[in-house]
């Protein structure tokens, strides 16, 4: 397994180009299953999760053509299987995103039931109930969700009692080909849902209200080929900006979308950063200062994202003052904190709230990455505290950050990948 060796105590300065968003790319790849004929996707990030999703639909007979670094053309005309097997789903929960499109287009789908994961139990009951409300017959047996439908799915009114991002996306995709109107209430408002909706509209879908909590979809008989560019990754953007703030440095993120970054930017300003914004760039300047600790509470968009919680926890470990970090989305998303404590962080965890006392005494230590964003937070902390840190199990980070070590190296981070066969 690859590891990162990091020499800390560095101030980060320079420019980082942000990649396309993982959480938009994955549903958009699944959306290609809704149409016979190519869906051409630009700004596709080079990530392990994207490879897994492409491998998954390739295993169903779908044709994938990579044209250059960021362009992928997907053609589902040659599909000959409607099954997402356990071997692939167990490596990536977002595989569940093929359920809605397969069922809507082909009248059947068999998707391995995703298990628990490091950050919590993460059920998919809302995806299943939504599709059942649209007339699907669904049984869960032998570890698989087996869904069938005679004819087209039927439009329905679907109320989610919990805001679910991939649940909203599954129903949104399924509804594009359903008969009649579907109304999703308490829908996820995440920009990645909006990006998927924009892609579907360019494929001929009739959707309104994406980005609000009520999405209305009028089903159409068929979708058509289209081209779409994936929205920039707001979590990657935030990760580099927070890293810069922790180091007292100045970093510009380019090819990004500032308008979808409000909650995070506001917290960075509260931490003492100067922020400058252009059409597709954000500059954070900390002017050599130590950040002030900030309280955060995670919640669905547009509130503070759970996918930025670990990074802000890392900042609070070295910031001035005491902070409270409250996680309301996933029940077990504090695993990175145990590793931070090994580096000298002062953290007390009580249920879903962590109290962090900022300190200047942290030092590098051998640590283990536990999930994607947790891994990023350990890299950030290791880059700014004194001493050497060896981070094990960094395969988590490759799932969702494109060339993270090269991007950090380019802004002055001392980070080296030690590959397993080294």
By CB atoms closer than 10 A (0-12, 13-18, 19+), residue 81 is middle
Q: With respect to ligand UD1, which residue has the nearer C-beta, 37 or 123? A: 123
Among 77, 78, 162, 287, binds ligand UD1 (CB under 6 A): 162
Site for ligand UD1 in 351-410 (CB under 6 A): none
From 54-62, 165-173, 177-185, 362-370, span contacting ligand UD1 (CB under 6 A): 165-173
Determine if 165 is a binding residue for ligand UD1 (CB under 6 A).
yes
Among 122, 152, 393, 417, binds ligand UD1 (CB under 6 A): 122
What does 43-101 look like in DSSP terms, one character per residue? S----HHHHHHHHHHHTTT-EEEEETTTEEEEEGGG----EE-HHHHTT-GGGGGGHHH
Active site residues: 117
Determine if 306 is a binding residue for ligand UD1 (CB under 6 A).
yes
Determine if 167 is a binding residue for ligand UD1 (CB under 6 A).
yes
Q: What is the chain's length?
A: 422
* Whole-Å CA distances, 262 to 140, 316, 332: 40, 19, 26
Q: How far apart are CA 188 and CA 184, in angstroms?
A: 9
Angle at 41 between CA 45 and CA 26, to 5 degrees: 55
Contact 250, 282 (CB under 8 A): no
Q: With respect to ligand UD1, which residue has the nearer C-beta, 15 or 213? A: 213
Residues that bind ligand UD1 (rule: CB under 6 A) add up to a total of 20
Among 25, 26, 47, 217, binds ligand UD1 (CB under 6 A): 26
Q: How far apart are CA 283 and CA 290, in angstroms?
A: 17
Q: How far apart are CA 366 and CA 203, in angstroms?
A: 48
Among 210, 329, 384, 404, binds ligand UD1 (CB under 6 A): 329
Q: How far apart are CA 246 and CA 213, in angstroms?
A: 34
Determine if 137 is a binding residue for ligand UD1 (CB under 6 A).
no
Among 124, 175, 273, 345, binds ligand UD1 (CB under 6 A): 124
Among 87, 125, 142, 185, binds ligand UD1 (CB under 6 A): 125
Among 110, 307, 398, 405, binds ligand UD1 (CB under 6 A): 307
From 138-146, 164-172, 213-221, 386-394, span contacting ligand UD1 (CB under 6 A): 164-172
Report the nearest approach of ligand UD1 to the CB of residue 160 (Å): 8
Report the nearest approach of ligand UD1 to the CB of residue 46 (Å): 17
| Residue 406 backbone class (left: φ over 0; alpha: ψ -120 to 50; beta: rest) | alpha
Which residues, 6 or more positions from 312, have their beta carbon under 8 angstroms from its beta carbon?
242, 267, 294, 296, 325
Determine if 19 is a binding residue for ligand UD1 (CB under 6 A).
no
Q: With respect to ligand UD1, which residue has the nearer C-beta, 155 or 167? A: 167
Q: How far apart are CA 389 and CA 60, in angstroms?
A: 42
Q: With respect to ligand UD1, which residue has the nearer C-beta, 306 or 377? A: 306
Positions that interact with ligand UD1 (CB under 6 A):
23, 26, 94, 120, 122-127, 162, 164-167, 192, 306-307, 329-330
């Amino acid at each position: 397994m690859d590891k990162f060796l990091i020499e800390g105590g560095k101030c980060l300065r320079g420019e980082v180009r942000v990649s396309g968003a993982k959480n938009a790319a994955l549903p958009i790849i699944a959306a290609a299953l809704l149409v016979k004929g190519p869906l051409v996707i630009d700004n596709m990030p080079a990530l392990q999760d994207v490879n897994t999703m492409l491998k998954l639909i390739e295993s169903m007979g779908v044709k994938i053509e990579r044209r250059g670094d960021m362009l992928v053309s997907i053609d589902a005309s040659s599909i000959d299987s409607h099954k997402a097997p356990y071997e692939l789903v167990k490596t990536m929960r977002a595989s569940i995103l093929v359920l809605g499109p397969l069922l809507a287009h082909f009248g059947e789908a068999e998707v391995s039931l995703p298990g628990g994961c490091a950050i919590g139990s993460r059920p998919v009951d809302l995806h299943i109930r939504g599709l059942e409300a649209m007339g699907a017959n669904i049984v869960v047996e032998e570890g698989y969700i087996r869904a069938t439908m005679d004819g087209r799915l039927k439009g329905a009114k679907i109320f989610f009692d919990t805001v679910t991002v991939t649940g909203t996306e599954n129903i949104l995709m399924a509804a594009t080909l359903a008969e009649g109107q579907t109304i999703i209430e308490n829908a996820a408002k995440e920009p990645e849902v909006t990006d998927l909706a924009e892609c579907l509209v360019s494929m001929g879908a009739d959707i309104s209200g994406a980005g609000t909590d009520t999405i209305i979809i009028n089903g159409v008989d068929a979708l058509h080929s289209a081209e779409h560019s994936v929205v920039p990754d707001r979590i990657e953007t935030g990760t580099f900006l927070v890293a810069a703030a922790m180091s007292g440095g100045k970093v510009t993120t380019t090819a990004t979308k500032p308008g979808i970054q409000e909650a995070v930017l506001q917290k960075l300003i509260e931490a003492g950063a100067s922020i400058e914004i252009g059409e597709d760039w954000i500059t954070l300047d900390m002017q050599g200062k130590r950040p002030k600790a900030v309280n955060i509470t995670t919640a669905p968009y547009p509130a503070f994202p759970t996918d930025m919680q670990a990074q802000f926890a890392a900042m609070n470990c070295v910031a001035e003052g005491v902070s409270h970090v409250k996680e309301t989305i996933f029940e077990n998303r504090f695993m990175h904190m145990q590793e931070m404590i090994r580096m000298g962080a002062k953290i007390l965890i009580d249920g879903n709230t962590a109290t962090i006392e900022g300190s200047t005494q942290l030092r590098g230590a051998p640590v283990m990455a536990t999930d994607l964003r947790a891994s990023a937070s350990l890299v950030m902390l290791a880059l700014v505290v004194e001493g050497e840190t060896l981070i094990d199990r960094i395969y988590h980070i490759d799932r969702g950050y494109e060339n993270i070590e090269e991007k950090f190296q380019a802004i002055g981070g001392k980070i080296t990948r030690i590959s397993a066969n080294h």
